[in-house]
Amino acid sequence: MCITAQKDAEAEVTFTLRKVKYFDAFRESLNDRQLRVIRRMLDEGPKGFEGGMSAGKYGSIAKTSKPTATRDLQSLVDLGALVVTGGGRSTRYWLPFATPEMGFDDQQKSLAT
């Protein structure tokens, strides 16, 4: 139990450091809608945003239309601020250090770099 708590604390600290680096790299390139959505994704912590970000979720969080959400998401992918998985209706967007293919241990390795 103590080891699990220690690993969770380490994951949180590592994630916080990664979040700072992420914002340093992308903050100036994000519009207000993108910034609101990215902050919401980062609020989920080291385990990531449940189910990834979709255009529909983006539109709800950013209070914008689906076409604008899709353009904003593509812009984030082009910047390298998000990675994309799937296609069509199953297209999901993830922070580059929290993709669904990563297990918890893999996330820790990625976040540490």
| pLDDT tens digit at each of 113 positions of the chain | 688 888 878 888 888 888 889 988 999 999 999 999 999 999 887 777 788 999 999 999 999 999 999 999 999 999 999 999 999 999 999 998 875 554 433 433 343 34
Domain boundaries, the chain: 2-112
pLDDT of residue 6: 86
pLDDT of residue 7: 83
What is the C-alpha to C-alpha distance for residues 64 and 59, in angstroms, rounded to an integer? 5
pLDDT of residue 110: 41
3.40.50, 3.30.1490, 1.10.287, 1.10.10: CATH of 2-112:
1.10.10
What is the C-alpha to C-alpha distance for residues 13 and 31, in angstroms, rounded to an integer? 27
pLDDT of residue 18: 87
* 72 residue type, one letter: D
